[in-house]
Chains A and B, each alone.
Chain A
Amino acid sequence: MVSSKMEKSPADLLASPGLSSMLKSLKLKTKQQELLIRVSILFLVYVLAFIARLFSVLRYESMIHEFDPYFNYRVTQYLTQKGFYEFWNWFDSESWYPLGRIVGGTLYPGLMVTAAFIYWTLRFLRFAVHIREVCVLTAPFFAANTTLVAYFFGKELWDSGAGLVAAALIAICPGYISRSVAGSYDNEGVAIFALLLTFYLFVKAVNTGSLAWGLASALGYFYMVSAWGGYVFIINLIPLYVLVLLITGRYSMRLYVAYNCMYVLGTLLAMQIRFVGFQHVQSGEHMAAMGMFFLMQVFYFLDWVKYLLNDPKKFHSFLRITVTSAVGLGAIALGVGTASGYISPWTGRFYSLLDPTYAKDHIPIIASVSEHQPTAWSSFMFDFHILLILFPAGLYFCFKRLSDATIFIVMYGLTSMYFAGVMVRLILVATPAVCLISAIAVSATVKNLTQLVRAKSKPASGGSGKGAASAKVLSKGSLDQSMPFQKNGAVALLLGVFYLLSRYAIHCTWVTSEAYSSPSIVLAARGANGNRVIFDDYREAYFWLRQNTPPDAKVMSWWDYGYQITAMGNRTVIVDNNTWNNTHIATVGRAMSSYEDEAYEIMRSLDVDYVLVVFGGVTGYSSDDINKFLWMVRIGGGVFPVIKEPDYLVNGEYRVDKGAAPKMLNCLMYKLSYYRFGELTTEYGKPPGYDRARGVEIGNKDIKLEHLEEAFTTSNWIVRIYKVKPPNNRW
């Protein structure tokens, strides 16, 4: 509840500049018109951002997507039913059996609290909505709000024209839509809003030097911390930005006020989130911000001394002593802190950001997540489309008109681009920066061109801002006067820009409807004659679990499905998507990659009643457990050296057909996936037991299970559930 209120206040603050400008503009007719256009464009963008994300609801139904959102949904349900206090103290015995999970202390509550707050508000207003609808629509709602923030941010950076373009670009940018379609009820949905808001408020604070904006950015930061672990990006980017400003000699009182206010208050607030707690002042990731904070003080002190001394020579020697001792002190403090364990070292995820090969070598569990893979060029193109080309152009414009704000957006753009290259899912973080910088490029280009076109007429027009065209642009325009055909050329270029932008819009719509609106829990494919075939196997299986198993049954599956089983099947799971205990996951990985009798011992020790595997051999669904199996082996082998990856490979190749390694053909996962599959003909003209996901005939068709029995297989064989038999009665 607290954080929801926090979120309100910056929003109020946001509204005020708009209001004042509205009052001013009432006086002038043209300004009035312009304002009307601007507001209606913004409104349309807002609506568009929301509507574009509803494809999935139209195409399927109002439901939660993917894996993590199911946990968030379940937690939100708990929060709305039991209240905030219970939620904060919740010990969840249904996951991580038998360890359990202290939910209140191990999550970022921002999203759930936000959704619950919206829910309570609607209830208070007598709208009888179901919590699921609220959860489904939270992400689009916040995405729409993001467009507003983008507008103000763009306005702060460049001018309101750039703001409008930025709002429009971000509204439909696939990189952002991928995480904010209706139903993807995940932290990122609100976090991007919070991220952009924090940055905007901070830039505003730096520009104005106002404590109020600094406070607002601290609150924005608090909301971000409560919502997503990505806040680490903020707490590192901002000090870096401040450092750059210091080095380039742009230090000012405004910066001092903004940073100190933001850091001190932000840290205090962030420590209120239990999951973060003292990490915020102790862990390695946050040290840069703290170091920067002290550096700022030293800098300010030196400034003061310089003012007092008034003698460059004395000051220089003083400077040398102070800087040396400050740096020495900082280094010693850091060294002692690290050595004594007071300052924790960087986490694996953080390392893998800085060194993309780190995770692969050291932490298979991080590397196993597809979202953590390095980004392919094609997905950059897919997610950014023309923004990828506009981005460097925007950088060019930013460098041409350097200010504190543009330096910030340049740094944000460049660092986040790097991170996006390291991890697929960080494209999301880069998206707002790319949109903003591209918007600057588009806006500046279009403005220059229109000025050329309407050579002597007034510069103001539709989307391209007030009369604040800069001197540079004007001088450039006058330079261009000398060139022939400039008017025709400008028209042609304008048309080109509009063509590009319309292609972008078409691309975005297509991507949204085709690629990013599938809930992944319901699979869709094109049938032989082009019709849409829906595979609803997951929900079929979870529903079966819910209806046909004892309420205290424990289900073992690979961790990807943990959240869904608890949320939809309402059964206890051994591991789930919150990968906090590597050993426990490795135990499951070990069970899956052992022979059946060894696995049986492990399953008995974990009280497992059912085993659930996902199998795509019949439908050709490729992200099934067999394809994930190597990660199980790797993760299991990382903890239990009995499991050796080469045992499952033949000449370094992973295969399931006749040439597969004998251990592979007899491990539990193989047996469970292909049990009785040898009797099935999947494709006309192929031998029975032809695996369509991997395109081979399986190697072991005669699978006998001793300790498990098939309990349920969904209609398309995607989910298969096995019951673990009790120990033999007479043995």
Chain B
Amino acid sequence: MAAPKSVAVFFAVLNLISLLPFIAFSFSPDQPTDRKILVLLDDLSLKSSHSIFFNTLQSRGFDLDFKLADDPSIAVKRYGQYLYDGLVLFSPSADRFGGSLNIEGVLDFVDSGHDLILAGDSNASDLIRNIAAECGVEFDEDTSAMVIDHAGYAVSETEGDHTLIASDEFIQSDVILGSKKLEAPVLFKGIGHSLNPENSLVLKVLSASSSAYSANPTSKLSNPPSLTGTSISLVSVVQARNNARIMISGSLGLFSNRLFRSGVQKIGSLNKYEKSGNEQFVTELSKWIFHERGHLKAVHLKHNKIGETEEPSIYRINDDLEFSVEIFEWSGTSWVPYVANDVQVQFYMMSPYVLKTLSTNQKGLYHTSFKVPDVYGVFQFKIEYQRLGYTTLSLSKQ
């Protein structure tokens, strides 16, 4: 009697989480890169003082729409459709946005899969702080505090207060920062922030050195600073679960022409660079943020009994089955096969019954075969591939 019966009704869930890349929900899936970006400024003069950054974006094909943060005509959404694919907030002091945009609007924008670059600064407004806090980043509570590093400041003409720091504590990820190694330290002048430990999605991209602390440079230090050392993050990114990407920087100047061009010499270091790492850092990071890199997609998910091609609705226990999927990466202009040897598939019912590494043919096709376990149940095929910087892909198939 109990003839082995059907076991596996399946759903295949494919989760590719990647570290870096771009996400694609609001764009056509074939073209994950953002196209239209709204830039909100405190002051239109920023347009010229940060022109290098904006020009690189424009030269990569982005359509930038500049507005003052309090411009009453701001609207990111019309008739339920988002007008922009990305948002750049270079308005650290804005207390409120003009038009219909508010904090919920910005968060909804992100939650519907769009990207955000947020630049804070010392004296950042509550609005900016709240947006950052919602993304898992806490700016130093002291509004006038800045990151100070007496052992890691950049040598400059004036002695100053060591608030212009040069940091080379980058995240180790080719996907986020590009494959070209950043030689020069990045110049940073602004407020530090810490990551909320409850948030598992936020990453430090640029952190301060162990000798840094966050305090008001003009007043005497009366209490120990609340933020010290490497726990201070200067630039952080978040890849949300829907693959929206967020970059939060504690310094607006990071993007400015002045710091792009200035040379840098870190105190105590003999190396003097003609040009700071800022331009390369910001450009590569913006490529990741706007999904020009690190975006994966999985297609042609297939499973069937060995020797058949049809996908059955049900497997019987001890059937032999084949499973294959194709994974591609967005190169900025086209989809290229993604090659890795660590993609695994799970045959999953509450816990994985089968966990197999997929073999690849170097052309993006991943493949494996296994025997259905001797257990009845509703199983899912599940690929959870989470690599720093790559997007999450989630497919389900029944």
Contact = CB atoms under 8 A, between A and B. Distances in A.
Interface of A: 89, 91, 93, 97-100, 102, 104-105, 274, 277, 552, 605-606, 726-731
A731 B111 CA distance: 11
B349 to A, nearest CB: 5
B247 interface: no
A93 B378 contact: yes
Nearest to B135: A730
Interface residues of B, number: 33
A708 B314 CA distance: 33
A82 to B, nearest CB: 13
A98 B382 CA distance: 14
B154 interface: no
Nearest to B349: A98
Contacts of B136: 730-731
Contacts of A104: 5
B377 A98 contact: yes
Given A102-B376, A730-B136, A731-B198, A274 B242 contact: no
A89 B5 contact: yes
B333 to A, nearest CB: 28
A89 B378 contact: no
B51 to A, nearest CB: 31
Interface in B3-23: 3, 5-7, 9, 11
B134 A277 contact: no
Interface in B127-152: 134-136
Contacts of A552: 11, 398
Contacts of A98: 349-350, 377-380
A30 B17 CA distance: 92
B378 A730 contact: no
Given A91-B5, A99-B349, A100-B9, A730 B376 contact: no
A102 B198 CA distance: 42
Contact of B111 (A91, A97, A277, A730): A730
Interface in B106-132: 107, 110-111
B1 A277 contact: yes
Nearest to B243: A729
Contacts of B111: 729-730
Contacts of A100: 7, 9, 376-378
Given A729-B242, A730-B134, A731-B201, A102 B349 contact: no
A731 B200 contact: yes
Nearest to B196: A731
A98 B378 CA distance: 5
B199 interface: yes
B2 A729 contact: no
Interface of B: 1-3, 5-7, 9, 11, 107, 110-111, 134-136, 198-201, 238, 240-242, 244, 246, 314, 349-350, 376-380, 398
Nearest to A271: B1
Contacts of B380: 98
Given A98-B349, A729-B244, 7 more contacts: A102-B2, A274-B1, A277-B2, A552-B11, A727-B241, A729-B111, A730-B240
Contacts of B242: 729
A407 B238 CA distance: 82
Nearest to B199: A731
Nearest to A727: B241
A93 B11 CA distance: 11
Given A91-B376, A99-B349, A552-B398, A730 B9 contact: no
Contact of A99 (B238, B244, B378): B378
**Which 8 interchain pairs have the tightest Cβ spacing?**
A98-B378, A93-B9, A91-B6, A729-B240, A729-B111, A98-B349, A731-B199, A93-B378
Contacts of B246: 730
29 contacts: A89-B3, A91-B5, A91-B7, A91-B314, A93-B9, A93-B378, A98-B349, A98-B380, A99-B349, A99-B378, A100-B7, A100-B9, A100-B378, A102-B2, A105-B2, A105-B5, A274-B1, A277-B1, A552-B11, A605-B350, A726-B241, A729-B240, A729-B241, A730-B110, A730-B111, A730-B134, A730-B246, A731-B198, A731-B201
Contacts of B3: 89
A606 to B, nearest CB: 8
Contact of A97 (B5, B7, B314, B378): B378
Contacts of B398: 552
A674 to B, nearest CB: 28
B110 A99 contact: no
Contacts of B110: 729-730
A344 to B, nearest CB: 16
